Amino acid sequence: MRRATRPDEKDRARRAVREGYARVAGGERPCCTSSAPCCGAGASEAAAKAVGYSDAELAVLPEGANMGLSCGNPTALASLRSGEVVLDLGSGGGLDVFVAASKVGPTGRAIGVDMTPEMVSKARGNAAAFQERTGLDNVEFRLGEIEHLPVADASVDVVISNCVINLSPDKPQVWREVARVLKPGGRVAVSDLALKRSLPPAIQESVSALVGCIAGAVLVEETRRMVQAAGLVDAQLATSSALLDQMAGCADPLWQELVGWLPPGTRLGDFVTSLSVTARKPGRVTRKGRVR
């Protein structure tokens, strides 16, 4: 487990991430300049399919919603149902919010929260195109930090997140917020990057690697402990090497720099893995409004 992060370090980390993703919102590639995915998926439809999105899911997306920032498909993990309220942590251009909105339908709602004003603005612009394409008016984007969600207690059926929690400098607080906003019996489905073992110090200290979704990752078992400490139950964590194997072909300078910091004879996939997390909040609401 890494050492505790001081408040000033947390502020610097948030500022670095916010500034980095403001540039991405403006059109900068998130990591790689090649066609290989980096930090989840490339901007192309083929790359999105590689991390689990179907043709039907991609068909509802406005142009520009898929920004190459995914490392899985949490909406599929969540098994969303009609009428549910879904909250996406770190919603970016709105990809997972729009996919979720199409699944929960007109009686449901999909809410995205992002701390980068440029991303929220971009997503809100995409919402108009989504409504025109689908006829659905069930999406909303809010500016805020995932450590302090602008969402009421026990108001959400499902929380999803895609390659974002690793960026937070206060991950235990994120998981506590997830538990707070979920209704009794509500569930969480997260796709993220995590560590099999600790990264070399040079990568941990790299701001570029932090924005690239690597330096902020924590050990898989540390994630499990945070989920349980937040009071969530039935936690299921599954790892996959497929994403990191795809990233091995990336020719971006950042990627090459990271590889250069690895111990001889190792590759980034020896340290980093894709991680899927599902869990639920205890209890359920009966028809009479009581919690069990």
Query: And the tokens for 140?
Result: 């909303």
Neighbour count for residue 242 (Cβ, 10 Å): 13
pLDDT per residue over 35-84, tens digit each? 344 444 344 566 677 777 888 888 888 887 876 667 889 999 999 999 99
- Rounded to whole angstroms, how far apart are CA atoms 231 and 265? 40
- Rounded to whole angstroms, how far apart are CA atoms 259 and 248? 9
pLDDT per residue over 229-282, tens digit each? 999 999 999 998 776 666 666 656 666 677 777 788 887 778 888 899 999 999
pLDDT per residue over 162-193, tens digit each? 989 988 989 999 999 999 999 999 999 999 98
Out of 2-11, 42-51, 82-91, 283-292, least confident range: 283-292
| Percent of all residues in the chain with a pLDDT value above 90, rounded to a whole number | 49
Question: Which of residues 4 and 229 earns the better pLDDT score?
Answer: 229
Q: Where are the domains of the chain?
A: 7-280
With a CB cutoff of 8 Å and minimum separation 6, the contacts of 53 are: 70, 73, 99
Would the pLDDT of 221 be above 70? Answer: yes
**Structure confidence at residue 138 (pLDDT):** 98
**Structure confidence at residue 62 (pLDDT):** 86
Out of 4-18, 19-33, 61-75, 206-220, least confident range: 19-33
Would the pLDDT of 134 be above 90? Answer: yes
Would the pLDDT of 8 be above 70? Answer: yes
Per DSSP, the residues of the chain read -PPPPPHHHHHHHHHHHHHHHHHHHTT--SS-SSSS--TT--SSHHHHHHTT--HHHHHTPPTT---S--SS-HHHHHT--TT-EEEEES-TTSHHHHHHHHHH-TTSEEEEEES-HHHHHHHHHHHHHHHHHH----EEEEE-BTTB-SS-TT-EEEEEEES-GGG-S-HHHHHHHHHHHEEEEEEEEEEEEEESSPPPHHHHT-HHHHHTTSTT--BHHHHHHHHHHTT-EEEEEEEESHHHHHHTT---HHHHHHHHHSPTT--GGGTEEEEEEEEE-S--B-TTS-B-
Would the pLDDT of 33 be above 80? Answer: no
Q: What is the CATH class of 7-280? A: alpha beta
- Rounded to whole angstroms, how far apart are CA atoms 50 and 47? 5
Would the pLDDT of 3 be above 60? Answer: no
Question: Which of residues 102 and 244 earns the better pLDDT score?
Answer: 102
By CB atoms closer than 10 A (0-12, 13-18, 19+), residue 150 is: exposed
Q: Whole-number mean pLDDT of the chain?
A: 82
Highest mean pLDDT among 16-20, 90-94, 110-114, 163-167: 110-114
| Percent of all residues in the chain with a pLDDT value above 70, rounded to a whole number | 72
Nearest to 139 by CA among 152, 154, 120, 155: 120
